[in-house]
């Protein structure tokens, strides 16, 4: 069984007003991940996700590209141990 982990991401660039959160939810659910995504007041997007390490790595790779209208300038990723306290992947306000 693949290792389970948690990752916290902060995505910068043109990532608000381009459906970044919507597409992130779709991708994370497709990958079978738990967690959330939300806009930050400074124009960045924050993601917290848990699941199997390969699926999390796929989500990080997706966030580096983003949806078609986005322009991702950077992704900060902080990895930690799986805690199992996140619900189904959704948008947070």
Give the pLDDT of residue 93.
85
The answer to whether residues 72 and 63 touch, using CB atoms and an 8 Å cutoff, is yes
Q: What is the mean pLDDT of residues 40-65?
A: 98
- Whether 39 is catalytic is yes
Contact 33, 86 (CB under 8 A): no
The single residue listed with the structure tokens 């991401």 is 9
Q: Are strands 4-14 and 71-81 parallel, antiparallel or unpaired?
A: antiparallel
The pTM score is 0.96
Catalytic residue among 38, 39, 44, 71: 39
Sheet containing 45-52, strands listed edge to edge, beginning at the edge strand earlier in sequence: 71-81, 4-14, 45-52, 34-39, 90-91
pLDDT tens readout for residues 70-82: 999 999 999 999 9
User: Rounded to an integer, what distance in angstroms lies between the CA atom of residue 81 and that of residue 38?
Assistant: 21
38 classed as catalytic? no
Confidence band of 47 (pLDDT split at 50, 70, 90): very high
Query: What is the rounded distance in angstroms from the CA atom of residue 58 to the CA atom of residue 76?
Result: 15
Name the catalytic one among 4, 21, 38, 83. Answer: 21
């Amino acid at each position: 069984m693949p290792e389970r982990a948690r990752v916290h991401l902060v995505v910068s660039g043109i990532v608000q007003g381009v459906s970044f959160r919507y597409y992130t939810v779709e991708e994370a659910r497709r990958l079978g991940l738990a967690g959330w995504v939300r806009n930050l007041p400074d124009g960045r997007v924050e993601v917290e996700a848990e699941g199997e390490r390969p699926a999390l790595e796929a989500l990080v790779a997706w966030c580096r590209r983003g949806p078609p209208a986005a322009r991702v300038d950077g992704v900060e990723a902080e990895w930690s141990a799986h805690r199992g306290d996140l619900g189904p992947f959704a948008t947070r306000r």
